[in-house]
């Protein structure tokens, strides 16, 4: 990861970036640029609307970026994140290793720029043997801003490091990250961050009669796990804990309802919910937020081997519910249901689950946000929507009308694990809500967990979308 620190003033021997907006353009140029540079920037901006300039000097670069700030602060901060990605790529292409950044904009925008650079610097290329593979030459970012404190940069670094950990877990193939190694990674993070952790093996899961996890695992040669992580600082602002639940399907073939064609290509990412929630808790603990949080992370792969569960099976779940299986590719909700039922023992103030759950969610809103539903959690959801805008991991809330309950009624069991051919993301949420008796928010990240192509600052592959949302939500709600 890029190193970040604070400079009090610009140094003459380090490449510099000056970030301006229309209102402070003249003041910024007069403070940070030579007269010749300033005159050229003004002329090209006024006549041709050019907004990015690079001056190559003998021993360094001077860069100038002009941001057209939006009336909505959260949109402006996103523009700065995107600028961070653009500048990181420029520095790499021009072999700039150190950059100092100065701006008269507000602190939040500079932190957004820094976040964009840090996230863009991530790359997953461990398995490339080409010695010429892309490695970021860029090393050090120095912030020159009166309002930015070292503490701000430390907190941002922690969140970005947690994001990198989640992205690494999701990008690794199932030959590296199965249920047991996923749990071991959580254990390493827990030890570093001072989190209590308990990992259940298959024998313990059988003893607890978690039928959903065991059913999905029946086709696998690898054992399932159920990880319980708890962060409870001495001083915390919530009387009842928040519980985070994450889907940990380390690889999803679809089971006997096997996925066709290319639909399996990214199925190593079906544990993104568990990876994101586990790493979010790691960030919360490293930030020492005053909130009591528990993470429940069920994990297994879903394969059509051995005695794999099949359509028509009746599965007895942890809470005693009998579920008719009508689709073995609706497996994520089976393991989540056991965890959601188990969460009742904590008498939580709120439970949030996160899962790459349905293709319907991706088809509904594409790769631009998170599909969400809530039950008895209206106030929590409003705060989460606001936080989603702030970190630009936006939420699209779908209805949870009572009529949808009818779509998961089974003729031969209590409920079935898949509904009709429409409203798939809602019926999946309804299935999960059946196992809850507390305020509940469901987050479907199927459309945003992986990027097929380079984006402004997230790159390709795993995104860890949802991690910054969870951290900001807990920091905001329990401030």
For residue 259, indicate whether it is catalytic. yes
The percent of the chain in helix, strand and coil, each rounded to the nearest 5, is: 40, 20, 40
For residue 361, the number of C-alpha atoms closer than 13 Å in the C-beta half-sphere is 30
Pairing of strands 98-103, 350-355: unpaired
C-beta separation of 292 from 241 below 8 A? yes
Residue 65, strand partner residues = 19, 52
Phi, psi at residue 173, to the nearest 5°? -70, 165
Distance CA 131, CA 126 (A): 11
C-beta separation of 468 from 378 below 8 A? no
For residue 475, indicate whether it is catalytic. no
Distance CA 353, CA 273 (A): 8
Alpha-carbon dihedral sign for residues 191, 197, 203, 206: negative
Distance CA 270, CA 302 (A): 10
C-beta separation of 463 from 398 below 8 A? no
C-beta separation of 175 from 188 below 8 A? no
Which listed residue (259, 288, 344, 385) is catalytic?
Answer: 259
Maximum pairwise Cα distance, the chain: 80
End-to-end CA separation in angstroms for the chain: 28
The two three-digit tokens of residue 396, written as one number: 């699209």
For residue 79, the number of C-alpha atoms closer than 13 Å in the C-beta half-sphere is 18
Distance CA 453, CA 260 (A): 22
Distance CA 462, CA 200 (A): 27
Neighbours of 257 (CB within 10 A): 18
Distance CA 29, CA 37 (A): 8
How far does CA 17 lie from the centroid of its chain? 29
C-beta separation of 301 from 178 below 8 A? yes
Render the burial of 258-277: b for 16+ CB within 10 Å, e for the rest.
eeeeeeeebbbbbbbbbbbb
Which listed residue (81, 333, 375, 390) is catalytic?
Answer: 333
Length of the chain, in residues: 479
Residue 252, strand partner residues = 302
Catalytic residues: 259, 333
């Amino acid at each position: 990861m890029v190193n970040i620190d604070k400079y009090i003033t610009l140094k003459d021997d380090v490449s510099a970036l000056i970030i301006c907006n229309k209102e402070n353009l003249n003041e910024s140029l007069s403070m940070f640029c030579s007269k010749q540079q300033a005159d050229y920037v003004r002329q090209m901006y006024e006549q041709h609307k050019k907004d990015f300039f690079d001056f190559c000097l003998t021993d360094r670069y001077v860069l100038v970026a002009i941001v057209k700030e939006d009336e909505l602060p959260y949109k402006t901060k996103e523009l700065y994140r995107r600028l961070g990605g653009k500048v990181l790529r420029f520095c790499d292409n021009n072999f700039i290793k150190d950059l100092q950044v100065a701006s008269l904009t507000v602190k939040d925008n500079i932190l957004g720029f820094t976040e964009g650079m840090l996230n863009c610097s991530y790359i997953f290329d461990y398995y490339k043997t080409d010695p010429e593979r892309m490695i970021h030459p860029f090393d050090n970012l120095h912030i020159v801003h009166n309002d930015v404190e070292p503490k701000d940069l430390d907190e941002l670094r922690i969140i970005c490091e947690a994001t990198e950990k989640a992205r690494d877990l999701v990008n690794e193939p199932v030959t590296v990250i199965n249920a047991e190694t996923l749990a071991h990674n959580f254990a390493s993070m827990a030890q570093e961050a001072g989190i209590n952790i308990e990992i259940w093996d298959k024998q313990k899961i059988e003893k607890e009669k978690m039928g959903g996890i065991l059913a999905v695992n029946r086709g696998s040669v690898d054992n399932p796990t159920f990880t319980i992580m708890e962060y409870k600082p001495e001083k915390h602002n919530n009387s009842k804990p928040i519980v985070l639940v994450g889907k940990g399907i380390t690889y999803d073939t679809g089971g006997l309802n096997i996925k066709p064609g290319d639909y399996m290509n990214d199925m190593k990412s079906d544990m993104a919910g568990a990876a994101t929630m586990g790493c979010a808790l790691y960030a919360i603990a490293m930030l020492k937020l005053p909130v009591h949080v528990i993470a429940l992370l069920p994990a297994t792969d879903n394969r059509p081997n051995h005695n794999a569960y099949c359509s028509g099976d009746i599965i007895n779940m942890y809470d005693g519910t009998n579920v008719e299986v009508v689709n073995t590719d609706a497996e994520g909700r089976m393991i989540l249901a056991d965890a959601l039922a188990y969460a009742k023992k904590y008498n939580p103030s709120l439970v949030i689950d996160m899962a790459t759950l349905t293709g319907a969610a991706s088809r509904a809103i594409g790769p631009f946000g998170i599909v969400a539903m809530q039950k008895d959690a209206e106030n929590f959801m409003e705060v989460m929507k606001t936080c989603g805008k702030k970190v630009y991991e936006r939420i699209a809330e779908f209805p949870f009308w009572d009529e949808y309950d009818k779509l998961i009624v089974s003729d031969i069991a209590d409920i079935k694990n898949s509904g009709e051919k429409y409203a798939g993301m809602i019926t999946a949420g309804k299935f999960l809500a059946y196992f809850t008796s507390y305020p509940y928010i469901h987050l479907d990240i199927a459309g945003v967990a992986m990027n097929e192509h380079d984006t402004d600052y997230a790159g390709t592959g795993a995104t860890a979308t949802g991690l910054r949302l969870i951290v900001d939500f807990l920091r905001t709600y329990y401030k």
